[in-house]
Chain A
Amino acid sequence: MAAPMIAEWSWFVALAFGVSFIKCLLINAYHSTDFEVHRNWLAVTHSLPVSQWYYESTSEWTLDYPPFFAWFEYGLSHVAKYFDKEMLVVQNLNYASPATVLFQRLSVIFTDLVFIYAVKECCKCCREDKGKDLLGKSSFILATLLLWNFGLLIVDHIHFQYNGFLFGVLLLSVARHFQKRHLEGALLFAVLLNLKHIYLYVSPAYGIFLLRCFCFTQNNADGSLQWRSFSPLRLVALGLIVLSTFAVSFGPFIVKGQLQQVISRLFPFKRGLCHAYWAPNIWALYNIADKALSILGVKLKLLDMSKFSKASMTGGLVQEFQHSVLPSVSPLITLICTLLSILPAVFSIWRRPNGARGFLRCMVICALGSFLFGWHVHEKAILMAILPLSLLAVESKEDARTFLILSTTGHFSLFPLLFTAQELPIKILLMLLFTIFSFSSLTKLFSKSGPLLNSVEVAYLLGLVPLELICEFVYPLTSWQHTLPFIPLLLTSVYCALGVLYSFIRLYLSVLTAPSTTGKAKSQ
């Protein structure tokens, strides 16, 4: 930090190395069942022919990612065999020898190189004041916010997943759009969709943006669409890239007539409205409202106690949640809600694209909208909004404010992922590390124009401290721990849902009230 600039990017290398060292130290930490999921996929892709990949069901963790990810695992498995061949046997369920752990952890750490490269490309797109102190440079802050992101660290390197690599592809594609290399960006996004289909949630932003800003080459003077500037050639190029990517990915399965099977593995609608831990979204609030109304109803003798199923009291532990007062929610309704929530934002970038930054904003809204209203949302999906929002946070004060609220609540809602006593200190330490850095650096960055957060927001965020103390230190000592073990999870997700919802509304306001004049300047 204090060294003179030896080379221009030496600080970036130091940041990347630093976080990689931390990742290596976490190799022996707790890992969730996702570790076994990925080990199983290594075994499936390594020892079975392609035609069997989506049919194999020895393990309960069947392959439910798109084909490119399966090929990615296939590639990894060819390195894995030099570590421990036993991990590549499908029948070795829950196999976790030290060599297997080492290999799987290292594979995450090394594939994160994609993420590191993508972050570097993003940092190059930063608008920068020259000659500033390193710690006050927006590219430095952005690199730290992304590379040292708390959520990625715990989800990938403790809980175990490959999000770093996947977000690397996403951020790289965003950076390419910033650099006006749209075809490359489109290709990367198409590849990403075939790696993990959860990114479909942000595809509306991509589709509309490419159509509007790439296929139409010119705007009117006021930034609105000039219909005559449509370029069919560009549309064909775009379509060709996307279609051929999908053809490479799904082609073999279509030829074998397995498309139906693959699709049914990718979209398992049998799961419940909320994931085992409630993600902090609208449905968490909806569930809690339902619970409150039913208790109120019983108290006021408006409802008959016997009508409720017993299971509804253990919500958060079972997959299906029975609503007792409010109408139950079907997947279709969540889909409609999601679409309705992102429609205005998508429409707005169609009207006034506001350049790549407008697109990025729309993408964050898509991610947040689907997080808030989607079916069976994982709490980890909040990273899809937090990471891209980091790019905006270092450029405007209002976005920085939204980012601080969203990242703090979103990251806090990830706490229940790590429930082991051994990892309790590490998650608190890493969270503090990230939060203190983000608050102090962003405050310093925008120090000219007063404090970032108002007192209500500060009070809300400080409320997380007693919440954590109650959930993890006080509550386990009480007798309710055995009768009502889900209360801390419920409190966490309801409390965080408020912050996420608030950030969503703030983002929406920023889109809808954006001055159209800036749009004219940037979209040229």
Chain B
Amino acid sequence: MENWSLVSVCVLLGLTTRWAVSFSSYSGAGKPPMFGDYEAQRHWQEVTYNLPVQEWYFNTTDNDLGYWGLDYPPLTAYHSLLCGHVAKLINPAWVELRTSRGFESAAHKLFMRTTVLFADILIYFPAVILYCIYLSDGSSKRKVATALCILLYPGLILIDYGHFQYNSVSLALTLWGIVGLGLGWNLLGALAFSLALNYKQMELYHSLPFFCFLLGKCIKQGLMGRGLLLLVKISLTVLVTFALCWWPFLSDPQLILQVLHRLFPVDRGLFEDKVANTWCSLNVLIKIKTLLSRDTQLLLSFALTLLSILPSSIKLLTKPTLWQFKLALVNSSLAFFLFSFQVHEKSILLPALPVCLMMNELPLMAVWFLLISTFSMLPLLLKDGLLLPYTVTSLAFLYLGVYLLSALDRSPEEELRLGSCHKRMQNYLSKHNLSLLVKCSFTVSLVAMAGLSFTSVVLEPPARLPDLFPVLVSVFSFLHFLAMLLYFNLVQLTEPSSKKSQKKTN
């Protein structure tokens, strides 16, 4: 078979899976008065379609911010506006001001699902294919296999096509940024990532590596000469992009402040629901939310986040290669997820994107991480009635990862890429034992995940501890994420300046 047909088969499999998952229910289906994220997205279409731009982020008689007020940056709002226009064409009742609240119908669900699919086809799929063809190593079949695995990552599919959100848009823009930087089209990369930031403020999780990578490139070219020119060009690109995105709001500083206030709601607390990060897990032992004041919490989380991303950022700055960049992206976004303020369980998709890009180099670790990340959202998925697609896509992804990428039968050095650290470890563990240890812990972790998923579904929690299973799930995932953070930091910091990594520059 030719390569183009293999690629199209992959794309079609990705699309088929997505559409098949979209048959399931969505968040807040038939649950008045607040419904869920599905209603939030529909409500934004209603608001942006009917109200002038200046009123979008303000509490007015027509715009009750208490009911799913817009709290994403302008690009999301424009996207909603576009969808709102299409919705108006098909059925005006879908976006009627006020009366359309909580509108639900089979046709409307179909429309909403289609908008997600369109966004995916237009920007996410091309970015993934481009990345795999031009920026991953190996035979053409290996590249296609990697693309298939990335496209079938269950977490993103379940949240976008089950729960309902447009995560693939901001992630795709980030991926375009990565592809741009990887191929040396720095300005395109900067443009794409600025757009991503303007689509979803959570993309800040990825911003430091982007900054360091670009700055590192400039420094390498000489800050006095060509590097400076590049730096100016990049800064201009970013500034212009931001200015264009924020154009309607620039007239009034009050407006900008209000939007920023909506984007960073500090008063919503350290964490919400059950999320697999440090604060929520710590909360099991110490009631940190009540113990410390809001400001101390904010400061603490900020300091810890900064501290944990600093090493990887500095390393990237001194060694701006694509491989380092990808590792830094993982380390930074994972650190943000674990330590920063006001994290949602869905934010695990942000570290998941760069981990997806490592599926070729570190198949076992990447598959492991991605499965855990999907599992960490289990309470949410169960609430949305997505048990069946969760089970099927996770099993399929596991099988695919193990079969296509042969994640389990590689030697440990190759697999773990621990470099010099590995040599030191060999004093205690032989090569064979290390490989066995990793595989055993992978298997044990899989079994535990299956067991916890099963008990969450089947067993009733004891009356005294109604949140027992969600807490178990999040603490279990948190421990994995913490270990993964350490591991990925280790990989990044111990990477020697060998030829192998040199090859990957641009």
Inside 8 A of B406's CB, which chain A residues have their CB? 3-4, 6
Contact B396 A29 (CB under 8 A): no
- B 382-421 binary contact with A (CB < 8 Å = 1; else 0): 0000001100110110011001111001000000000000
A426 to B117, CA, bound (A): 12
- A296: interface (CB < 8 Å): no
Inside 8 A of A1's CB, which chain B residues have their CB? 6, 141, 144-145, 404
User: Using a Cβ cutoff of 8 Å, how many contacts connect chains A and B?
Assistant: 94
Contact B9 A433 (CB under 8 A): yes
Inside 8 A of B144's CB, which chain A residues have their CB? 1-2
- A421: interface (CB < 8 Å): yes
A116 to B395, CA, bound (A): 19
- A26: interface (CB < 8 Å): yes
A430 to B406, CA, bound (A): 27
- B24: interface (CB < 8 Å): yes
A26 to B17, CA, bound (A): 9
Task: Count chain A CB atoms within 10 A of each CB in B8, B23, B106 and give the residue with the most.
Answer: B23
Inside 8 A of A10's CB, which chain B residues have their CB? 403
Closest A residue to B399 by CB, please name it: A17
- A 420-445 binary contact with B (CB < 8 Å = 1; else 0): 01100110011011001101110010
Closest B residue to A444 by CB, please name it: B1
- B15: interface (CB < 8 Å): yes
Inside 8 A of B15's CB, which chain A residues have their CB? 425, 429
Near A by CB (< 8 A), chain B positions 314-349 give: none
Inside 8 A of A441's CB, which chain B residues have their CB? 1, 5
Contact B389 A2 (CB under 8 A): no
- A 1-27 binary contact with B (CB < 8 Å = 1; else 0): 111101000100010011001101111
Contacts known (A28-B388, A29-B23); A6 close to B409, Cβ less than 8 A:
yes
Inside 8 A of B12's CB, which chain A residues have their CB? 429, 432-433, 436
- B 110-142 binary contact with A (CB < 8 Å = 1; else 0): 100000010000000000000000000001011
Inside 8 A of B24's CB, which chain A residues have their CB? 28
A10 to B404, CA, bound (A): 11
Task: Count chain A CB atoms within 10 A of each CB in B5, B20, B399 and give the residue with the most.
Answer: B20
Inside 8 A of A440's CB, which chain B residues have their CB? 1-2, 5
Inside 8 A of A422's CB, which chain B residues have their CB? 23, 106, 110
Contact B389 A25 (CB under 8 A): yes
- A135: interface (CB < 8 Å): yes
Inside 8 A of B16's CB, which chain A residues have their CB? 22, 426, 429-430, 433
Closest A residue to B107 by CB, please name it: A421
> Shortest beta-carbon distance, B133 to chain A, in Å?
14
- B21: interface (CB < 8 Å): yes
> Shortest beta-carbon distance, A238 to chain B, in Å?
43
Q: Please tell me which one of the listed residues A136, A426, A437 contacts residue B5 in the complex, with CB atoms under 8 A apart.
A: A437
Contact B19 A436 (CB under 8 A): no
Contact B139 A2 (CB under 8 A): yes
Inside 8 A of B110's CB, which chain A residues have their CB? 421-422
Contact A135 B1 (CB under 8 A): yes
Q: Please tell me which one of the listed residues B8, B20, B388, B403 contacts residue A426 in the complex, with CB atoms under 8 A apart.
A: B20
> Shortest beta-carbon distance, B503 to chain A, in Å?
21
A6 to B399, CA, bound (A): 14
- B 281-317 binary contact with A (CB < 8 Å = 1; else 0): 0000000000000000000000000000000000000
> Shortest beta-carbon distance, A101 to chain B, in Å?
10
Contact B139 A425 (CB under 8 A): no
> Shortest beta-carbon distance, B418 to chain A, in Å?
24
> Shortest beta-carbon distance, A425 to chain B, in Å?
5
> Shortest beta-carbon distance, A210 to chain B, in Å?
38
Closest A residue to B140 by CB, please name it: A2
> Shortest beta-carbon distance, A207 to chain B, in Å?
40
Inside 8 A of A14's CB, which chain B residues have their CB? 399, 403-404
A29 to B19, CA, bound (A): 10
- A 118-162 binary contact with B (CB < 8 Å = 1; else 0): 000000000000000001100000000000000000000000000
Closest B residue to A153 by CB, please name it: B16
Inside 8 A of A135's CB, which chain B residues have their CB? 1, 6, 141
Contacts known (A4-B406, A425-B117); A25 close to B145, Cβ less than 8 A:
no
Inside 8 A of A24's CB, which chain B residues have their CB? 388, 392
- B13: interface (CB < 8 Å): yes
- B 1-44 binary contact with A (CB < 8 Å = 1; else 0): 11001101100110111011101100000000000000000000
Closest A residue to B395 by CB, please name it: A21
Inside 8 A of B389's CB, which chain A residues have their CB? 25
A384 to B144, CA, bound (A): 34
Task: Count chain B CB atoms within 10 A of each CB in A1, A2, A4, A24 and give the residue with the most.
Answer: A2
A85 to B6, CA, bound (A): 46
Inside 8 A of A433's CB, which chain B residues have their CB? 9, 12-13, 16
> Shortest beta-carbon distance, B247 to chain A, in Å?
36
Q: Please tell me which one of the listed residues B8, B392, B403 contacts residue A436 in the complex, with CB atoms under 8 A apart.
A: B8
Q: Can you name 11 A-B residue pairings with CB atoms under 8 Å?
A: A6-B406, A17-B396, A18-B400, A22-B17, A28-B23, A28-B24, A430-B16, A433-B12, A440-B1, A441-B1, A444-B1
Q: A3-B406, A26-B20 are in contact. List 6 more A-B contacts (CB 8 A).
A: A22-B16, A25-B392, A28-B388, A421-B110, A429-B12, A436-B12
Which 6 residue pairs across A and B have the least CB separation, nearest first?
A: A440-B5, A25-B20, A2-B141, A21-B396, A28-B23, A433-B12
